[in-house]
């Protein structure tokens, strides 16, 4: 009989401990939730996918700037919430607030490179493999950063501002040409163009 009584006391003691353990929490303490951002390099051909980031919900983080991975024939163009680029865009290195679990996909721009030859200390030029449509006119003044088509298939990138009597078809221009002349130098260079 003493043996049976001993077991009943032991069970009662365990039950009491369990109750006191669950009731010791403080309902006034805030519950901290964590949110995860996962990167997907979306077709990268080399490098490593950036590590996922787990952070307290509502906190800001800095997005990966596109370092550590690459894709042949493309340049990194930021992140998007959809793999096909139809979602919301975020620039690499920008601030991002984690409000829910999310996967961001790398965006890629098609890139092509041209070996461009120096001419007259005002421009670099390269012959294109085909003849694009042209609508030549005289621009009067060429601005630093202008990208023009000369003749039937000569691509010209200007790195000085000057007046001209020649006719060109305007293709585009560099938005911020600060430092362009120094970057191009005085010899032949390889210039990479990308389609956004």
Number of other CB atoms surrounding residue 156 within 10 Å: 21
Residue pLDDT, tens place only, 144-191: 999 999 999 999 999 999 999 999 999 999 989 999 999 999 889 988
CA distances from 87 to 53, 80, 104, 107 (A): 20, 6, 10, 11
Vertex 164 angle, CA 182 and 145, to 5°: 30
What is the residue-averaged pLDDT of the chain?
85
The residues, any chain, with a CB within 8 Å of residue 187's CB and separated by 6 or more, are: 118
Q: Which residues contact 62 (CB under 8 A, 6 or more apart)?
A: 93, 94, 95, 96
| Domain positions in the chain | 34-110, 120-195
- Give how far Cα 12 sits from Cα of 3, 5, 6, 36, 193, Å: 15, 11, 10, 43, 78
pTM of the model: 0.54
Cα–Cα distance measured from residue 76 to residue 94, given in angstroms and rounded to the nearest whole number: 14
| Domain 34-110 annotated CATH 3.30.70 | no
């Amino acid at each position: 009989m003493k043996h049976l009584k001993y077991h009943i006391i032991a069970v009662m003691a365990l039950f009491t401990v369990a109750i006191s353990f669950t009731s010791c929490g403080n309902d006034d303490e805030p519950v901290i939730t964590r949110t995860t951002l996962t990167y997907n390099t979306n077709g990268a051909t080399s490098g490593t996918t950036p590590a996922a980031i787990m952070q307290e919900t509502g906190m800001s983080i800095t997005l990966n700037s596109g370092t550590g991975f690459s894709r042949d024939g493309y340049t990194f163009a930021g992140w998007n919430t959809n793999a096909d680029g139809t979602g919301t865009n975020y620039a690499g290195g920008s601030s991002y607030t984690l409000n829910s679990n999310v996967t961001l996909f790398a965006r890629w721009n098609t890139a092509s490179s041209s070996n461009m030859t120096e001419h007259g200390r005002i421009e670099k030029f390269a012959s294109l493999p085909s003849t694009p449509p042209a609508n030549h006119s005289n621009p009067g003044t060429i601005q630093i950063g202008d990208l023009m088509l000369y003749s039937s298939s000569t691509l010209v990138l200007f790195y000085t501002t000057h007046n001209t009597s020649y006719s060109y078809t305007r293709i585009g221009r560099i938005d911020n040409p600060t430092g362009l002349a120094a970057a191009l130098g005085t010899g032949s260079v390889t210039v990479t163009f990308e389609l956004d």
